[in-house]
Amino acid sequence: MSTYNRNNMLRPIKKLYIGLLTVIVIGLLIPQHLKMPVKGATKADYNPKSFWYFPWGKSVTHKGVDIFASKGTAIKASTTGLVLYTGKIDRGGNVALILGPKWRLHYYAHMAELKTSALSFVTKESTVGTVGTSGNANGKSPHLHYSIVTLIPYVWRIDADKQGWKKMFYLNPVKYLEH
Ligand SMILES: [Zn+2]
């Protein structure tokens, strides 16, 4: 095969590659200003030290923050995004997984009711669900378990804590809620 032909064949692949890179970079550049997802909640409604709390049952460490509110309180999306999944799972109960800016996943768990569905676009005005005790929050005070997971690993965040390597994926939501 001549060099000329090979270049012609590679051109669409190169185009696809550049296209993908562009999408990834744009995703990274979209600003993220998080909104408190539980309507009316303040700093007083969560423990700022709950992230990576140990021991935490089957999860070993607590990879998010629990925001307490009365059952049925509206949960709004903390950021604009695309809903990837909604459904009922064992530990999380009624959950929603939303892809937001910077290739971060936003996870909402223990909801009483789900008010969105997969493949919906959400804004900070959209209601995701309501606060509840579904999944392994059964019998506890109603709260939203909220986690942020980066799809792009932040390897420099790994530390010597229990499961510290997982900190390249799980970000501390408290840092983003308090600003
Ligand atoms: Zn939790």
Cα separation, 165 vs 18, whole angstroms: 31
3-state DSSP assignment of residue 154: coil
Query: What is the chain's mean pLDDT, rounded?
Result: 94
Cα(62) to centroid(ligand 1), Å? 6
Cα(2) to centroid(ligand 1), Å? 60
Rama region for 139: left / alpha / beta (φ>0; ψ in -120 to 50; rest): left
Cα(71) to centroid(ligand 1), Å? 16
Cα(145) to centroid(ligand 1), Å? 4
* Burial of residue 131 (number of CB atoms within 10 Å: 0-12, 13-18, 19+): buried
Cα(9) to centroid(ligand 1), Å? 51
Burial 13-25 (b: 16+ CB within 10 A, else e): eeeeeeeeeeeee
Cα(66) to centroid(ligand 1), Å? 5
Cα(76) to centroid(ligand 1), Å? 17
**Of 152, 119, 154, 148, nearest to 21 (Cα)?**
152
**pLDDT for the residue 5:** 73
Q: Is the dihedral of CA 130, 136, 141, 145 positive or negative?
A: negative
Cα angle 81-86-89, degrees, rounded to a multiple of 5: 135
Cα(59) to centroid(ligand 1), Å? 10
Cα(80) to centroid(ligand 1), Å? 22
**pLDDT band for position 3 (50/70/90)?**
low
**pLDDT for the residue 6:** 74
Cα separation, 5 vs 20, whole angstroms: 24
Residue 122 β-bridge partners: 81
**Of 173, 166, 82, 73, nearest to 123 (Cα)?**
82
Cα(138) to centroid(ligand 1), Å? 12
pLDDT at 54 over 90: yes
pTM of the model: 0.91
* Burial of residue 83 (number of CB atoms within 10 Å: 0-12, 13-18, 19+): buried
What protein residues have CB closer than 5 angstroms to ion ligand 1? 66, 145
**pLDDT band for position 179 (50/70/90)?**
low
Cα separation, 127 vs 39, whole angstroms: 10
Cα(56) to centroid(ligand 1), Å? 9
Residue 16 β-bridge partners: none
